[in-house]
């Protein structure tokens, strides 16, 4: 059974970030429902950081972890939120020194692909 308040908050974040708003009927499996309710409805909806800041933090984490498929999706979300390719390049420069050059190179490549398709 979906918690509609948490689900609605999560669906709103997903709409702003990725341009789609799931319905409870579309998220019938536990993993999808928990993702909407917990990750996006509870964590991404907290008041302590703006959505843009959470997006940049997520892009940084996914880059350093080498999670290319998820990075691609979240870079698309960053673009929707108005984060520029120049800002992503600056982020990757920072990450190169803390997370390693190879992951930053991968991040720049993926960002170029994602932003290139949309610009």
Q: Could you report the per-residue pLDDT of 63-101, keeping only the tens digit for each?
A: 999 999 999 999 999 999 999 999 999 999 999 999 999
Among candidates 108, 115, 14, which has minimal Cα distance to 63? 108
Query: Which residue matches tokens 């917990």?
Result: 38
Cα 31 to Cα 38: distance, rounded to the nearest angstrom? 10
51-118 CATH, one of 3.20.20.70, 2.60.40.740, 1.10.150.530, 1.20.1290.10: 1.20.1290.10
Give tens-digit pLDDT for 97-119.
999 999 999 999 999 999 997 65
Span 11-39, average pLDDT:
95
Enter the DSSP assignment of 85: H
Domain range annotation of the chain:
4-43, 51-118
């Amino acid at each position: 059974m979906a918690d509609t308040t948490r689900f609605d908050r999560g669906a709103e974040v997903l709409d702003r970030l990725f341009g789609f708003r799931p319905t409870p009927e579309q998220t019938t499996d536990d993993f999808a429902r928990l993702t909407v309710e917990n990750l996006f409805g509870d964590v991404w909806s907290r008041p302590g950081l703006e959505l843009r800041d959470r997006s940049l933090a997520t892009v940084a984490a996914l880059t350093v972890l080498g999670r290319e498929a998820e990075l691609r999706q979240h870079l698309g979300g960053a673009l929707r939120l108005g984060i520029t390719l120049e800002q992503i390049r600056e982020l990757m420069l920072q990450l190169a020194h803390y997370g390693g050059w190879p992951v930053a190179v991968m991040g720049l490549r993926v960002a170029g692909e994602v932003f290139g398709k949309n610009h």
